[in-house]
């Protein structure tokens, strides 16, 4: 059985990872997606504060990879407009 090719994009605040059930919570997200037929999950662990800092100065986060409508790329390589879209998504999901 093949799952769909639409990736699930999740931005997780680092605070979640400090909870006692962090592993179980993330596992439930991934398993739930898989159980519904999904096959690709892209997870970024970044706080609202850090995504705003990265937007202001991408050089502070040279290894930050984000999902952009069908592909993943380094945040620093995006145009300011695309960076803003990623920031808006992270802030809306928070």
27-54 residue pLDDT tens:
999 999 888 888 888 888 888 899 999 9
Lowest mean pLDDT across 7-11, 52-56, 73-77: 7-11
Higher pLDDT: 90 or 56? It is 56
> How many domains would you assign to the chain?
1
pTM for the complete prediction? Answer: 0.69
pLDDT for position 4? 58
**CA pair distance 27, 15, nearest whole angstrom:** 16
pLDDT for position 87? 92
Q: Which structural domain range is residue 29 located in?
A: 8-93
1 falls within a domain? no
81 falls within a domain? yes
| Mean pLDDT for the stretch of residues 77-82 | 94
75 falls within a domain? yes
């Amino acid at each position: 059985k093949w799952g769909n090719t639409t990736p699930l994009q999740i931005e997780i605040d680092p605070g979640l990872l400090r909870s006692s059930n962090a592993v179980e919570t993330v596992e439930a997200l991934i398993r739930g997606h898989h159980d519904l037929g999904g096959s690709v999950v892209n997870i970024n662990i970044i706080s609202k504060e850090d995504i705003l800092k990265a937007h202001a100065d991408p050089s502070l986060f040279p290894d930050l990879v984000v999902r952009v409508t069908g592909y993943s790329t380094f945040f620093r390589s995006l145009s300011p407009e695309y960076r803003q879209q990623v920031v808006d998504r992270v802030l809306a999901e928070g």
